[in-house]
Chain A
């Protein structure tokens, strides 16, 4: 099995976008940096594969949620950095709220004796 196929169903639909946007609130990052930030923040529970990360980034770039620019990484290597746009920030707010409502609802179902 290749990486592409395994990762595609691992995250709830749309959640990856929200996570990516969230990691960008701290400032611009390249793709690898975004993946690491999510993995670190979830203590490795969520693993981000290239096969889902980059298509998500490209789509969000087209939608105008993120902007990309070429720059130099901390090690001096040329890398493509992504930054949150105002439109992306609004999107993040909306999606976080959605997620909170969804998670609360699921919790009520699971925790109710």
Chain B
């Protein structure tokens, strides 16, 4: 049956039609009898006519049903219009209530929508790749996760595992110096196997990708441009195809341009060249640097592919016991690897902002409850006039839906502002955040949460209001009927709001404590006053290691001579930036097998590095001019490496093998440097070692040709950017400096994500606290206004002002205390989700919880002291007369 037919009472259509036609037939029969026909004949004649009306009867059934439906709908629409008009009139009559309710909800909806938009863009929005769930990163397991592969392992795996469409593709990300008639520029590119684009599932927008033939040494001077680079450097003209492009001193031919959507994020690579492995590289199972991707064939499960990868790994362990002693392979979806650890952070934020929305809902529910009480008389009158309970509830819900929709509109405006601010403050390393905008999905989300919150806010008050008994409503005008039930509901709302804001504040408090701890962490170097820049020595123009060393020495001298520079240094790696390869070290006396390797970060430096960076030599001596080719081969180790390699012994004079095979690999330790937190203040120092640039084995220039130029000044390091550029250009004008930043900037950048999260969660905590405080204030003020008479009586009977204040505060603090206890209990369990973002503080840190409790109870006291004082100022005589 159609639901509308049930809305209001009517006889069933079939009965209606039958009765109406029967009546007609009977009247016809009477007519015939009156005209002189025999009554029996007349009845038969009438019945005959009636029987002939079969078709009419059926069409009347249909018409009647249609009419009923139409009329029910009209009635419903009419009532809805009435309700809406009534609501709007009510809201205009109470602009204060309307404004507070709409703004409260808008704040919650706006914040939630903004964060949702960010989460959607970064995490939820599907990558534009074809069938992204089948695209996997395949890698050697390292520290529990699949990571990069060696070329030999990639080649052997690709040959042995048939489960991937177009095979496995390998990528080596690399930096390129672009130089042609336009300005020199430094871009991130990727050297890829020819099947890379097929594996990713992308076709060029213009031109072509690489052939298998071009993926061979000597044939590989072809380049495919990203849409971004093509637009920026070639003005989006198709004639860019076939043009030459000088990259790192070699001329490449532009053969293709990728579509815009393949710019997966703002910092993804901007060009691709064939990787063109040499036979020597194909045989190399050490040196792990390839990112390997594969697309599972349809019908092949990850378990099947994993099984085959395991078999290959077993064979590799057997065939290459030295390089692949512990190798095993694993897979993660490309998307997961692409989004990385941003996901849990954003989801935490979304959870936090939902708490704020819930608190906002609690407040609005409180407002509606208070209004419900004030309007008890009106509702009683309507009930007396015949409005059913359903009708009353519908009217009250209409009111909250109207409020929520108004709040959604205001919330969308706020959401745009919030999102703009969010994007402006957020660290730059959040992939795809730049794509976040308030779009139809966000709009739908805002509308959905608006409706959900309106029902959440409005249903309990509406049911409560409609359940009031008629007589008391009419009798006392809704004044004294503060039933225990409703007080309990209001109390429950306060309990929930306090618990939720406590949860938020504990999260914010823990992050703030972490931020303070990070700020206080000794990074092992002094970043203030240091400017850092990088340059790359192209393979083509720097073939001789001696030439490289000589050029770097001259650049070092030129940098030191820049006015204002106190000291300058060259290093293969600084801290909190790109670069920093690792080597497996073996202390003398241990077997050179993989299990004995100590993976350590290498810095090739000029002796002035320690002075320039402010790193202390804690034992032994620094490098000096005597540490050169032909002299004793020396190294400096970090305190951490010393502790791992020679626990409990003096490392000075001990020898460690590294970086090159044979007896020449042994280097004597001459000094121990303080540990540096190279990967950021939150990450514990790893073993590191230093080699003097003058003694670097030639092979090291195959690993890395990008060096840092570091200068320290007593003044403002940013002022040195121009002079330093000029000084380097005077040595070699084809060596552009890039990634020029002060060390303070690098440090700030490494902390940017956690700072951003701290800031946001603190902000959300503050909003939550403010909302909860206004909720408490509202409830207590209402309590006082309802109890004016009772308080008057108490005062007339001799109660002092302070005892009245105590009474009111007691009323307020009971639900606050309950909420606080509840909140602490939940926080103790829930704060663990933050543990990956915490530093130097436990998720159940008692100090944080105590501070939050004190803040919350203090604010609750403040929120209730105003109505409490008002209660104490009640004039008993007037209070008693007021009724």
Contacts and interface: CB of A to CB of B under 8 A. Distances in A.
A69 to B, nearest CB: 11
A62 interface: yes
A55 B23 contact: no
A5 to B, nearest CB: 9
Contact of A58 (B26, B27, B49, B60): B60
Q: What does DSSP make chain A's interface, helix, strand, loop or mixed? A: helix
Contacts of A61: 67
Contacts of B55: 2, 4, 51
A77 B26 contact: yes
Interface residues of B, number: 25
A30 interface: yes
A80 B19 contact: yes
Interface string A98-109: 000000000000
A32 B723 CA distance: 107
Contact of B21 (A50, A70, A77): A50
B550 interface: no
Which 6 pairs from chain A and chain B are nearest by CB?
A58-B63, A62-B67, A32-B27, A51-B56, A2-B52, A32-B24
Contacts of A78: 19, 23
Contact of B67 (A58, A79, A80): A58
Contact of B60 (A36, A55, A77, A79): A55
Contacts of A51: 53, 55-56
Contacts of B24: 31-32, 35, 50
Contacts of B16: 80
A58 B60 CA distance: 7
Contacts of A79: 20, 23
A77 B56 contact: no
A78 B28 CA distance: 16
A51 B63 CA distance: 13
Given A50-B49, A80-B16, 11 more contacts: A4-B55, A30-B23, A31-B20, A31-B23, A32-B23, A32-B27, A32-B28, A35-B24, A50-B24, A55-B60, A77-B26
Nearest to B52: A2
Interface string B28-71: 10010000000000000000010011011001100110110011
A73 interface: yes
A3 interface: yes
Nearest to B70: A62
Contact of B71 (A2, A32, A62): A62
Interface residues of A, number: 22
Nearest to A59: B63
A83 to B, nearest CB: 15
Nearest to A54: B60
Contacts of A4: 52-53, 55-56
Given A62-B66, A62-B71, A3 B49 contact: yes
Contacts of B26: 77
Contacts of B28: 32
Interface of A: 2-4, 30-32, 35-36, 50-51, 54-55, 58-59, 61-62, 70, 73, 77-80
Contacts of A3: 49, 52-53, 56
Nearest to B60: A54
Counting chain B CB atoms within 10 Å of each CB, which of A30, A36, A50 scores highest? A50
Contact of B20 (A36, A59, A62, A80): A80
A30 B16 CA distance: 13
Contacts of B20: 30-31, 54, 79-80
A47 to B, nearest CB: 12
Contacts of B19: 78, 80
A78 B64 CA distance: 19
Contacts of B71: 62
A3 B25 CA distance: 13
B64 A58 contact: yes
Contact of B56 (A30, A55, A73): A55
A30 B63 CA distance: 18
A73 B11 CA distance: 18
14 contacts: A2-B55, A4-B52, A30-B20, A31-B20, A32-B27, A50-B24, A51-B55, A51-B56, A54-B56, A55-B59, A58-B63, A58-B64, A73-B23, A79-B20
B74 to A, nearest CB: 8
A73 B17 CA distance: 17
B63 A62 contact: yes
B63 A50 contact: no
A19 to B, nearest CB: 17
A94 to B, nearest CB: 22
A51 B52 CA distance: 9
Nearest to B63: A58
A51 B50 CA distance: 10
Contacts of B49: 3, 50
Nearest to A33: B27
A58 to B, nearest CB: 4
B30 to A, nearest CB: 8
A55 B52 contact: no
A50 B26 CA distance: 13
A4 B53 CA distance: 7
Nearest to A79: B23
B2 to A, nearest CB: 14
Nearest to B20: A80
Contact of A77 (B23, B64, B66): B23
Given A62-B66, A80-B20, A50 B27 contact: no
Nearest to B59: A55
A59 B60 CA distance: 9
A36 B27 CA distance: 10
A35 B16 CA distance: 18
B66 to A, nearest CB: 6
Contacts of A32: 23-24, 27-28
Nearest to B24: A32
A79 B26 CA distance: 11
A3 B28 CA distance: 14
Contacts of A77: 23, 26
A3 B19 CA distance: 19
Nearest to B69: A62
B697 to A, nearest CB: 96
A44 to B, nearest CB: 12
B507 to A, nearest CB: 60
A35 B31 CA distance: 12
Contacts of B31: 36
A32 B23 CA distance: 8
B713 to A, nearest CB: 88
A78 B22 CA distance: 11
A54 B52 contact: no
A59 B59 CA distance: 11
Q: Which of A31, A58, A73, A80 gathers the greatest number of chain B CB atoms within 10 Å?
A: A58
Contacts of A36: 27, 31
Contacts of A2: 52-53, 55
A55 B53 contact: no
Nearest to B68: A62
Contacts of A31: 20, 23-24
B817 to A, nearest CB: 61
Contacts of B67: 58, 61-62
Q: Which of A59, A70, A80 has the most CB of B within 10 A?
A: A80
A6 B175 CA distance: 92
Contacts of B21: 50, 54
